[in-house]
């Protein structure tokens, strides 16, 4: 699979939505869909690489896959946690350091979603945003093993059926918990309640590999992107209503996931289309390439600024948006990019050229 700049454009829109949601709060509640887009894109990319590896080599090397994931995700996360803890200690003293350090343990072990979902901490934590990283990492372990079994030993159509049924089971389980009175946080950050979004991305990658592959309509991806943007900006209409939780968990998550998959498939299949060219706009592509760092840094910067009273909109924009962009750019240049040399050695042999390895491994991230 060659590098597709438009996918970084998709990433840029997703991370912009998340950051805007955390900066503007109730003024832009629909920014939560950025995480949904990340989930679908992650499931699609890792499965696409599994499919290509299976086609070219006849096998899937799980050890290499897990090592690639660790090299891509852990170093930048560890640097962010370390620097944030030092800054929090220097700026705030020891008042909240114990809580921050505890959250750091959950973050670096990819268990923040369990911490938030089952223990309901009384205050906003420095690393609360690591909940989505935890879900993805837990999914990588489960789907890595599943892909090894389904894609290596079985027909892809059977794998597609299993993925579809699994997504439906997760959706049904989310409905059950919702009707049973589970807390919104439990449903929102649960691996068992959000895995269907990643499964939908995986299903899209498998369907794309079938013969004949699904056909894309000419403007389907563009219409899906417009619908996603409209959803983000119109979410305020229902967000404050009593039906908000039901609409979000029971309906909207699935709709947003399917729309996200439509956009992803469109830019992959229809290279050179208007949508693909628009999402390949160089500033968007760069933001997408550093989106992991932006996601990592924006939340702790906003939390530390808020603790010091810099919680008006101006400072949120400067620190949350501007600060996270700077820190992400530095992280990408001095932490993430150098790691790609190590990841290249673990790329599936015989599939990609040296340049393609660097480009694909760079893109096949959160």
In SS3 terms, 121-156 reads as CCCCCCCCCHHHHHHHHHHHHHHHHHHHHHHHHCCH
Helix axes 324-331, 291-307, angle to 10 degrees: 140
Distance between CA atoms of residues 290 and 165, nearest Å = 34
The residue that leads in pLDDT, 92 or 348, is: 92
The residue that leads in pLDDT, 359 or 318, is: 318
Q: Please, which pLDDT band fits residue 26 given cuts at 50, 70 and 90?
A: confident
Q: Please, which pLDDT band fits residue 301 given cuts at 50, 70 and 90?
A: very high
Which DSSP string do the residues of 13-32 spell out, in sequence order?
A: HHHHHHHHHHHHGGGSGGGG
Structure confidence by residue, pLDDT tens digits, 93-136: 777 888 899 999 999 999 999 999 998 787 789 999 999 999 99
Structure confidence by residue, pLDDT tens digits, 314-348: 999 999 999 999 999 999 999 998 887 776 666 65
Quick one: pLDDT at residue 344?
65
Quick one: pLDDT at residue 241?
61
Residue 357 clears pLDDT 50, i.e. is over it: no
Quick one: pLDDT at residue 12?
97
Q: Please, which pLDDT band fits residue 242 given cuts at 50, 70 and 90?
A: low
Establish how many alpha carbons lie within 13 A of residue 269's alpha carbon, considering only the half-sphere containing its beta carbon.
21
Quick one: pLDDT at residue 353?
47
Quick one: pLDDT at residue 355?
45
Structure confidence by residue, pLDDT tens digits, 33-86: 999 999 999 999 999 999 998 988 888 889 889 988 999 999 999 999 999 999
Query: Which residue has 């990643």 as its token pair?
Result: 198
Q: Please, which pLDDT band fits residue 29 given cuts at 50, 70 and 90?
A: confident
Query: Which residue has 């909940």 as its token pair?
Result: 131
What is the pLDDT of the chain when averaged over all its residues?
88
CA–CA distances in Å: residue 310 to residues 128, 212, 270: 19, 56, 45
Residue 92 clears pLDDT 90, i.e. is over it: no
Distance between CA atoms of residues 68 and 284, nearest Å = 25
Contacts of 31 (CB under 8 A, 6+ apart): 17, 18, 19, 20, 21, 22, 24, 232
Q: Is the pTM of this model over 0.95?
A: no
For the chain, the domains span: 5-363
Residue 216 clears pLDDT 80, i.e. is over it: no
Structure confidence by residue, pLDDT tens digits, 157-204: 999 999 999 999 999 999 999 889 888 899 999 999 999 999 999 999
Distance between CA atoms of residues 355 and 63, nearest Å = 23
Percent of the chain with pLDDT over 70: 90
């Amino acid at each position: 699979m060659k590098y597709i700049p438009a996918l970084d454009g998709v990433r840029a829109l997703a991370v912009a939505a998340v950051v805007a949601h955390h900066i503007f709060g109730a003024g832009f509640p629909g920014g939560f869909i950025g995480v949904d887009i990340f989930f679908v894109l992650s499931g699609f990319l890792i499965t696409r690489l599994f499919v290509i590896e299976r086609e070219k080599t006849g096998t899937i090397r799980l050890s290499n896959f897990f090592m690639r994931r660790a090299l891509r995700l852990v170093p930048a996360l560890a640097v962010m946690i370390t620097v944030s803890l030092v800054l929090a200690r220097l700026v705030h003293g020891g008042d909240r350091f114990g809580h921050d350090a505890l959250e750091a343990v959950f973050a670096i072990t990819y268990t923040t979603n369990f911490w938030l979902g089952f223990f309901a901490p009384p205050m906003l934590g420095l690393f609360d945003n690591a909940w989505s990283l935890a879900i993805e990492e837990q999914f990588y372990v489960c789907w890595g093993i599943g892909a090894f079994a389904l894609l290596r030993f079985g027909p892809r159509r059977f794998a597609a059926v299993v993925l579809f049924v699994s997504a439906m089971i997760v959706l049904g389980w989310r409905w059950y918990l919702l009707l049973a009175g589970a807390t919104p946080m439990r449903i929102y950050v649960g691996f068992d309640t959000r895995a269907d979004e990643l499964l939908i991305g995986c299903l899209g990658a498998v369907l794309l590999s079938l013969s004949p592959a699904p056909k894309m309509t000419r403007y389907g991806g563009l219409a899906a992107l417009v619908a996603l943007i409209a959803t983000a900006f119109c979410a305020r209409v229902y967000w404050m209503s009593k039906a908000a939780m039901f609409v979000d968990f029971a309906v909207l998550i699935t709709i947003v996931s399917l729309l996200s998959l439509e956009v992803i498939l469109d830019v992959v299949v229809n290279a050179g289309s208007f949508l693909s060219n628009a999402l390949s706009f160089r500033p968007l592509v760069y933001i997408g390439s550093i989106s992991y760092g932006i996601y990592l840094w924006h939340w702790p910067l906003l939390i530390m600024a808020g603790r010091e009273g810099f919680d008006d909109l101006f400072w949120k924009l400067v620190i949350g948006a501007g600060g996270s962009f700077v820190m992400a750019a530095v992280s990408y240049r001095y932490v993430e990019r150098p790691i790609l040399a190590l990841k290249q050695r673990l790329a599936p042999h015989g599939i990609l050229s040296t340049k393609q390895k660097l480009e694909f491994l760079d893109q096949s991230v959160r």
